[in-house]
Structure 1
């Protein structure tokens, strides 16, 4: 079964599922260092990556700027999938808050779009990071039951990568 066949296409335009999740992490770095890990493209590449091979990134950290990325993801026994990520920064408060919108496309099919808010709070020299995401799943994988756990898990892995990038920089 191809990736496209595994997707449950909506019967009508109203078949959109909305979800929200929040992940909090205490990071062993000051808010300025955590903020810099989002802003600096070289540091960002250490923790924010698309799965697969041949990834290409363009990042402009400013309100109205954003990031584009694409890669090819292959799993043994399945056709390769073309992944694309596009974001736009809506609000940036240095060392305190980053708000952005993004969309994820697989094989030229827009799968979901999200509003993400990242809050950074000083916690005695470390940082309490709170990531809240409001997502609209436009196309489900199968019955859709794995879509939110998949997205939440991928975000957790990215935040693990962020913690590792910060530890490496320390």
Structure 2
């Protein structure tokens, strides 16, 4: 390819690629009411299963969003490549962070589950609270008998 062709074609390709990327970019807006309404479906699914249900809302290049509902405590978990950011929409629970996973097993690439988390710090959660759990940190959501919690999740890819 001649020098002149490169001077024309390379910038043209860059501009084209930026235009395609720009066309696929979008913003998302979820009101608390929208998310709570959508969570009703998750509550029905949770009642028919182990007491929890979640769904992925949107996926992006280095993060994704989810909506989750729990009416029972979950097991321990650790995400090697993703941080969790929880925004509590309604309900009450506790999150146990740090410590170590008991009876851990790999459930997928970079995903480790365990029976529970031993040790760590316990934080009480209520509507309006925000929690950040870095990649690699064991954590467990604890829901008291008769309680439930609905929360919006942002899972952010972290490189270590």
> By the TM > 0.5 criterion, same fold?
no
TM-score normalised by L of structure 1: 0.27
TM-score normalised by L of structure 2: 0.29
Larger radius of gyration: 2
